[in-house]
Amino acid sequence: MFIESLIDIFQPILLLIILLGVSLGIIWGALPGLSTTMAMALLIGFTSTMEQNIAICFMLSVYTGSVFGGAISAILINIPGTPDAVPTMIEGHALAKKGEAGTALGTAIFGSFIGNWIGILILIFLMPFLIAIALNFKSWEMFLLSIIGISVCGTMCSGELPIKGWIVGWIGILIAMVGIDPIYGIERFTFNNPNFYDGFNYIPILIGLFGICEIVKTLPNKNKSPIPEKVGKLFLPLKKLLGYVKTSIRSGLIGTFIGALPGAGANVASFLSYDIGKKRAKPEEKKLWGKGSYEAIVSAEVANNANIGGSILPTLALGIPGNAAAAALLAALTMKNVVVGPTIDIDHPGLVYFIYAVLLIANFFMYAMAIALVKPCIKLFSLSRGLLLPLIIPVCVLGAYAARLNLYDLWIMFFAGILGYILSLCKYPTAPIVLGVILAPMADENLRRSLMIFSEKDILYFFQQYTGLILLLIFIFIIFDGLRRLKKT
């Protein structure tokens, strides 16, 4: 099946879309202030009229390209294009100041390529196991899984104060409660407004939180950085790169594992891998960390790219997005009537293999296009934010409108953007809201269904749900760990 999908992908139109997507992703990621999530959120609208395979190729290739793209501006102008490129910025820009910008970029490209490979291989290896486990989940387990997803996302998004992440995740659940109740058909919080009957679509919410909010936040900033004139050669000697095999494997595993946790994305992956890499580095290499270390760049870049494969794992197998970018991917798949979750292989045979194939091809294109686009990207850095960001506003509007062709969605996008801006002023994370909105219907239906089953059985039945008990313990642990952090800080 995988070989068939790989052959399927060798159609000129699909290859062209992947090439375009990867190039767009690299350029988008390289531009400071434009994040991977923002790119993914905006592109959902573009894919609404695309054929399913083309839409998947486009979204996945933009995802692959934009995660790497952040490294270009991080190394060259000391501004991370995406937040996960901060460790790369620390090391890469130090190297750039020594005149080694080209080799630093070459190392980042190599790290990203290896990271993607590790993420994809782990995704291919673990997917059948996760699906097999998830197929045994009943209502109670599905409810717990969705609540755990939102809680972990909350914890991961606001490390020192998880309670703030949970609060916004819970607010996301409440937002999703608006509309007609799916079990009894009763109106919930609609206030007799017909626009509320269908509830709030999460695509305009996603675009509002990650598009409009970022524009409103970043547009008034006046920072500008010096742009280097020369980059130099892009490649490190192969012998030196081979010396980073151990670091690559460790960082790849960290990146993929972190990616699979809901809410934890490339940001956590690259920081954690960088931190662990520093502790594990040889004494002579350790001295270079913070002053320009190639191994540190490998640590960060392998991890944030391996994160892509990791984040797709729970998205496809459980229907729980690994991060906000994966949530956008989920939204695009939902628009194409793809039902993700444990039955994905039954409902859409071959789709999972097609996704693997796209990721593999996109990775090769990413390597080639990264080398080709580094120099043109330098010219793009001279464009002001004051020019770029306003131009994105109509794209946000069209993206939000295209999802349902409903003008009311423009208001949802606007208010989601303003809510995101207010939350960021109050130092609340925004990603858990999206996860709350996406997972709330699953939590609501499954909680009520499981309680109905429990009410008909005796108490022993509850304790015989062993998977449910394990998940309940995990949930309790997450809450206690969060409260411990609150006490500590």
Partner 1 sequence: MRDDFKKKSYISEDEGAGYAAPIIDLISSSAILILSFWIIYESLKLKIPDNNILTAPALLPVIISISLIFMTLGIFYKSLKKLSINKTKSNHKETDHLIKFICPVALFFYIFGLTKLKFSHKLYFSNYQLDFGPFLILTIILLTLLLYIFWKQKLLSCFVVSLVWSLFLSFTFTNFFNIPLPGN
Binding to partner 1 (CB under 8 A) within 302-331 occurs at: 323
Q: Tell the smallest beta-carbon distance from residue 217 to partner 1 (Å).
A: 9
Binding-site member from 393, 469, 472, 474 for partner 1 (CB under 8 A): 393
Q: Using CA atoms, how far apart are residues 421 and 413, in angstroms rounded to an integer?
A: 12
Tokens of 71: 């490294």
Binding-site member from 99, 128, 376, 390 for partner 1 (CB under 8 A): 390
The reply on whether position 427 binds partner 1 by CB under 8 A is: yes
The one-letter amino acid at 59: M
Q: Please report, as residue ranges, which positions from 204 to 263 form the binding site for partner 1 (by CB under 8 A).
A: 212, 215-216, 219-220, 263
The reply on whether position 411 binds partner 1 by CB under 8 A is: yes
Q: Please report, as residue ranges, which positions from 265 to 294 form the binding site for partner 1 (by CB under 8 A).
A: 265, 267-268, 271-272, 275
The reply on whether position 397 binds partner 1 by CB under 8 A is: yes
Q: Tell the smallest beta-carbon distance from residue 114 to partner 1 (Å).
A: 22
Q: Please report, as residue ranges, which positions from 357 to 386 form the binding site for partner 1 (by CB under 8 A).
A: 384-386
Q: Are the C-beta atoms of 92 and 294 separated by less than 8 Å?
A: no
Cβ proximity to partner 1, 277 vs 356, nearer residue: 277
Closest-CA residue to 432 (of 323, 310, 270): 323
The reply on whether position 405 binds partner 1 by CB under 8 A is: yes
Closest-CA residue to 105 (of 129, 69, 65, 62): 69
Q: Are the C-beta atoms of 119 and 304 separated by less than 8 Å?
A: no
> What is the x/- site pattern for partner 1, positions 25-64, by CB under 8 A?
--------------------xx-xxx--------------
Binding-site member from 105, 118, 120, 157 for partner 1 (CB under 8 A): 157
Binding-site member from 203, 325, 357, 431 for partner 1 (CB under 8 A): 431
Cβ proximity to partner 1, 89 vs 351, nearer residue: 89
DSSP, residue by residue, 411-428: HHHHHHHHHHHHHHHTT-
Tokens of 227: 């742009």
CB atoms closer than 10 angstroms to residue 151: 25
The reply on whether position 459 binds partner 1 by CB under 8 A is: no
Binding residues for partner 1, how many (CB under 8 A)?
92
Q: Tell the smallest beta-carbon distance from residue 227 to partner 1 (Å).
A: 18
Mapping DSSP onto H, E and C, the string for 227-284 reads CCCCCCCCCCCHHHHHCCHHHHHHHHHHHHHHHHCCCCCHHHHHHHHHHHHHHHCCHH
The reply on whether position 184 binds partner 1 by CB under 8 A is: yes
